[in-house]
Structure 1
Amino acid sequence: MLDHIGLVVSDLERSRRFYLAALPPLGIGVEMEVTAEETGGHAHLGLGTAGKPFFWVSGGAAASGPIHVAFTATTRAAVDAFHAAALAAGGRDNGGPGLRPHYHPNYYAAFVFDPDGNNIEAVCHTPA
């Protein structure tokens, strides 16, 4: 089981705006922030649910290459809302909401690129 994941972004404030707009349809929001003064390095933004940050976005130089992160959505409507919110926040489309039966018959997902080119997905595995 995955406890948390983190990625380094080139502009933390730009990424903050993007994720704070794109992730609320999935029930994900800011759970913790750590300042550069506290770390002696870069600031970190911890996003998650129910008091538990599990998706960390950190300032600094961009990572060596894009990564892929998939968030679980409880409904197909939440996948649709994530995609719309992410595009409105400046994300680039990487595959609109829809079934991906080549993964499995109920794999309903949407993909966007965040401001640093990371492939961010929302997926619902529940039948319609």
Structure 2
Amino acid sequence: MFDHVVFGTSDYAASKAFFLKALEPIGMAVVSEGSLGIELSADGKTSLCIRRIEEKPAHLHLAFVAQNRQQVDAFHRAALEAGGKDNGAPGLRPNYSGKYYAAFVIGPDGHNIEVVCHESES
């Protein structure tokens, strides 16, 4: 299990705005912000840290856990509203598992951002 994940962004303001809006449905919020960048967390135990860098970063695939399918749907809507590019609408992914419900969006630096729920529909 990760304690934190750190990655760089070439457009800090755009990435900050995108991640704050896109990940709000799963409870992610600002823990701290300073000269290095911003730290987000939903549980106070693990965090996502976005750092200012000059060069374009390598593309990442970041997947976040949702508590229910409604959070996956809300993430997808919020991420698109925040300027993300659709990379897979919310839905079951039976090629992964019978309960794998996820949505995918490409963020400002080309990162593939996913939110997934492993619970049955309720």
Tell me how far 1:52 sits from its aligned partner: 4.2
TM-score (norm: length of structure 2): 0.94
Residue-by-residue CA offset, 1:6-61 (whole Å, 9 max, x unaligned): 111111111111111111101111111121xxxxxxx2110102444511111112
Q: Give the aligned residue type for 1:94.
A: N
More strand by share: 2
Number of equivalent positions: 120
CA distance in 1, matches of 2:84, 2:59: 14
CA distance in 2, matches of 1:120, 1:51: 21
Mark the runs of 5 or more structure 1 residues left unpaired by the alignment: 36-42
Q: 1:32 and 1:45, CA in 2 relative to 1: closer, same or farther beyond 3 A? A: same
Aligned-pair Cα RMSD in Å: 1.1
TM-score (norm: length of structure 1): 0.89
1:90 maps onto 2:80 in alignment: no
**Percent same amino acid among aligned pairs?**
47
Residue-by-residue CA offset, 1:73-107 (whole Å, 9 max, x unaligned): 00000000000000000000000000001111000
1:59 maps onto 2:52 in alignment: yes
CA distance in 1, matches of 2:7, 2:80: 20
| Superposition map of 1:1-128 within 5 A | 1-35=1-35, 43-52=36-45, 54-60=47-53, 61-63=55-57, 65-128=58-121
